[in-house]
A and B are shown apart, each in its own frame.
Chain A
Amino acid sequence: MLVYALRRLVGAIPTIFIIITAAFFMMRVAPGGPFDQERTLEATVMANLNKTFGLDRPLYEQYGMYLGNLVRGDMGPSFIYRDKRVHEILAEGLPISMQLGMTALLLALAVGTLLGTLAALRQNTKTDYAVIAVATFGITVPNFVVAPVLSLVFAVILSWLPAQGWGDWRQMILPVIALALPQVAVIARLVRGSMIEALRSDHVRTARAYGLPSRMVVVKHALRAAILPAVSYLGPAAAALLTGSIVVEQVFNLPGIGRYFVQGALNRDYTLVMGTVVIVAVFVVVFNLIVDLLYAMLDPRVRYD
């Protein structure tokens, strides 16, 4: 399995290289540049800026320089946040986004699995309908509605929790709930569907026939199979959650990196956009690998030799 994992990681290098190259040139095709803004700059000032940032050089040269720097772990200077380099900006925000995302992910996995299992065990009862209702709500009501409402109710009206900011564990509660809610919904629905199927499968029937206690049958035998779809969903979901959410970060004023995905592109902050692309690409590759490895652990039919 180790060989397999290493082979996959090495195989991912060309993929990431192609993504970086495509992103680099696509970004430059977009009209406008980092210094085009409401206040048009003087021609001299613009020329000085372009020279300072090397934008006056041919594109292939800029590309070569970017790759050269990247290999050395330097993602270049941000065109907008001029006091920092891109890797410094990402290093400040990424741990925060990851902490939030990871907490939300674990919460979603625990609550979603629990709800999905309950619904499957009590199929077509009030419990089941309640779970489906919550799940549908979670999927359909977008974050930009849930997050401000949470903040309004728990911070402004009830004054139980802070409305915004970062640094105190209490400031994590509302954003984590806002991030986790849609994931809870998806996971609950996935687990419910596969659990219903698993409960009808041969090995579970056999386990019951052996007279194993119901709890053991569900947790040890049925759940192991039922959780597989949720696990394969978790790969891309984790990559998305851990790299932050622009909505939740803006509503709760959190210093994560989610905002850079949109802001970077709108500001034409070329290096910042490239930085976010690299991070997401790496996360997607790594989490897909983790999911595949988890599959091998959970499903005895899957083996990587």
Chain B
Amino acid sequence: MKIGRITCAALSVSLLALAAGTAGAVTYQRGNDGNPETLDQHKTSTVAEANILRDLYEGLVVYNTKAEVIPGVAESWEVSDDGTVYTFHLRDDAKWSNGDPVVAGDFVFSLRRIMTPETGAKYANILYPIAGAEAVNKGEAAPETMGVEAPDDHTLVITLAQATPYFLELLTHQTGLPLHPASVEQFGADFVQPGNMVSNGAFVLESNTLNDKIALVKNENFHDAANVALDGVNFLPFEERATCVRAWEAGEVQSCSDLPTEDVDRLRAEYGDAVRVVPYLGTYYYAFNHDDELLSDPEVREALSMVIDRQFLADEIFEGMLPAESFVPPGIGNYSTGSPKTDYFDMSMLDREDKAIEILSAKGITPETPATIELMYNTSENHKNVATAIAEMWANVGVNVEFNVRDASAHYAHLRDKGDFDVARAGWIGDYSDPQNFLFMVESDNDGFNYANYNNPEYDGLMDAAAAEIDLDKRAALLQQAEALFMRDLPFLPLLYYSSHSLVSPKISGWDDNIQNVHPSRFISISE
């Protein structure tokens, strides 16, 4: 009995001690898309990495909860009249997690490193607007020749090759985040390991176990630490979206970054506003090969676009996605005019089908004398369902479809290598909120993305004119004209706008829905 009582007392004391130690400490268990491939901001490419790096580091400018650009390390900046020189003034109180001050030279070091070919940076090209950057990345010039200078510790001057109205948006991307030069020099590629990493954001890296969790703790040296409510964030990678949902329902995580589309209805019924389905900066499309004999005819492409019931795809196959009537998704920045209207989207489905039959039968294509095209897509249940539905819609107007399915790597390698195809599935998520980031894909000299082999000098001319235009409204009008050509010529056939799906605990505040699906943990708090 006596031993029992002593044990009980000891147990209570240790439980009390444990409770006291953890009292008030709030750690956010945050479901993430998957495992980050790297925590090196220069090698990164995925959304999962962006979410973590945004918490670890602070760039010159950052996103607020509404995904608007606000000052970060730079407290103010000026842009030259011709839009090519950006002068950033860095805040005095910005510090690295080890107490070192964040200086302009750190940004110079970082921007040079990402362009150095040996770094092998997947997203280096996003910063090609900086003067001389592309030549450095190609190995044709020394990193010092880039248009990045630090006249003093608190001033950073970035010179661009030409005016780039979305340049500040570009700097919100994780590739624009600074590195602590001394750590990189000391540890080399291992500067990303826990214990070695020195960061300047609201949080610092505590541990990183592949496929288990990435634990961050509050950075007391962060200049705005007083306003950071969380003591830590654990990023849990969920490759299986349903697993995150179950963990959320069991109270083990407070948010999920993606949901299985088939679960959305049930979750909405059970948890109401915790389910967030929000338009996202992306478009799901099919590329038409303009070198193909049948598809080189613009009328055929238009007819094929007309007969697709995009509302059906959005309602029945990709729940939460929206029917796409343009290539640039709505809600994008720097597009005051918005996308142009395409007439046939106002017609009823029956009328559109009649019109398509009329166009195609004039060319001798009818259900009795059908044409056949090959539709290529990468393996996925949803891609298959979309392809099957579209094949059915096209069969009604006399175009039979044969499928060619490969895994993602083989599919994209085939497109990249300019392999033969008729119609191919692809998707595009914008890297920054600007219509140029969508419309540049089919410029005739864009080797990587112009799967359609679209070649229209008028389109290229409009894109060039837009690139040289500093007035944002005039630029938007030029881009709108370009998109009107896009919708007429259909190098790509827009099908659906992506949407983001999240599950957010009602205890969380500071999570605002936005088109970039960006939710910095720095602004998040959790109530008991």
**Per-residue 0/1 for A254-273: is the Cβ within 8 Å of any B Cβ (1 yes, 0 no)?**
11100100000011100000
Are the C-beta atoms of A251 and B125 separated by less than 8 Å? Answer: no
CA of A159 to CA of B213 in the docked complex: distance in angstroms?
22
**Smallest Cβ distance from B370 to chain A, in angstroms?**
30
**Per-residue 0/1 for A112-125: is the Cβ within 8 Å of any B Cβ (1 yes, 0 no)?**
00000000000000
Q: Which of B120, B208, B243, B426 contacts A251 (CB 8 A)?
A: B243
Give residues 228-278 of B contacting A (CB, 8 Å).
Answer: 236-240, 242-244, 246-247, 249-250, 252
Contact segment of B102-110, B144-152, B384-392, B403-411: B403-411
Are the C-beta atoms of B410 and A32 separated by less than 8 Å? Answer: yes
Task: List the B side residues contacting A253 at CB < 8 Å.
Answer: 211, 236-238, 240, 243-244, 247
CA of A43 to CA of B128 in the docked complex: distance in angstroms?
13
**Smallest Cβ distance from B165 to chain A, in angstroms?**
21
Closest to B419 in A: A31
CA of A42 to CA of B211 in the docked complex: distance in angstroms?
29
**Per-residue 0/1 for A29-47: is the Cβ within 8 Å of any B Cβ (1 yes, 0 no)?**
0111111111111111100
Closest to B249 in A: A156
CA of A162 to CA of B410 in the docked complex: distance in angstroms?
38
| Majority SS at the chain A contact face | loop
**Smallest Cβ distance from A53 to chain B, in angstroms?**
7
**Per-residue 0/1 for A19-31: is the Cβ within 8 Å of any B Cβ (1 yes, 0 no)?**
0000000000011
Given contacts A37-B412, A44-B137, A52-B120, contact A165 B210 (CB under 8 A): no
Are the C-beta atoms of A40 and B122 separated by less than 8 Å? Answer: no
Are the C-beta atoms of A48 and B124 separated by less than 8 Å? Answer: yes
Asked whether any CB of chain A lies closer than 8 Å to the CB of B212, the reply is: yes
Task: List the A side residues contacting B409 at CB < 8 Å.
Answer: 30-34, 36-37, 266-268
Given contacts A52-B120, A163-B250, A267-B409, contact A255 B38 (CB under 8 A): no
Are the C-beta atoms of A255 and B210 separated by less than 8 Å? Answer: yes
Are the C-beta atoms of A36 and B426 separated by less than 8 Å? Answer: no
The size bracket of the interface on A is: 35 or more
Are the C-beta atoms of B137 and A83 separated by less than 8 Å? Answer: no
Given contacts A37-B408, A250-B243, contact A163 B415 (CB under 8 A): no
Task: List the A side residues contacting B506 at CB < 8 Å.
Answer: none
Given contacts A35-B122, A42-B125, A83-B39, contact A266 B246 (CB under 8 A): no
Given contacts A40-B415, A48-B121, contact A251 B240 (CB under 8 A): yes
Are the C-beta atoms of B210 and A93 separated by less than 8 Å? Answer: yes
Residue among A40, A52, A81, A250 with the most chain B CB within 10 A?
A: A40
Q: Which of B134, B412, B449 contacts A36 (CB 8 A)?
A: B412
Are the C-beta atoms of A38 and B137 separated by less than 8 Å? Answer: no
**Smallest Cβ distance from A83 to chain B, in angstroms?**
5
Q: Which of A39, A49, A164 contacts B120 (CB 8 A)?
A: A49
Task: List the A side residues contacting B416 at CB < 8 Å.
Answer: 36, 40
Closest to A42 in B: B125
Are the C-beta atoms of A31 and B239 separated by less than 8 Å? Answer: no
CA of A52 to CA of B192 in the docked complex: distance in angstroms?
18
Asked whether any CB of chain A lies closer than 8 Å to the CB of B489, the reply is: no
Extra contacts besides A36-B409, A163-B252 (9): CB < 8 Å: A31-B413, A38-B412, A40-B412, A45-B122, A45-B123, A48-B139, A163-B243, A164-B243, A167-B212
Top 6 A-B pairs, shortest CB-CB distance: A32-B409, A32-B413, A52-B120, A255-B211, A255-B212, A31-B410
**9 sample A-B contacts, Cβ–Cβ < 8 Å, listed by A number:** A32-B406, A32-B411, A40-B412, A48-B117, A51-B117, A250-B239, A254-B211, A255-B212, A259-B211
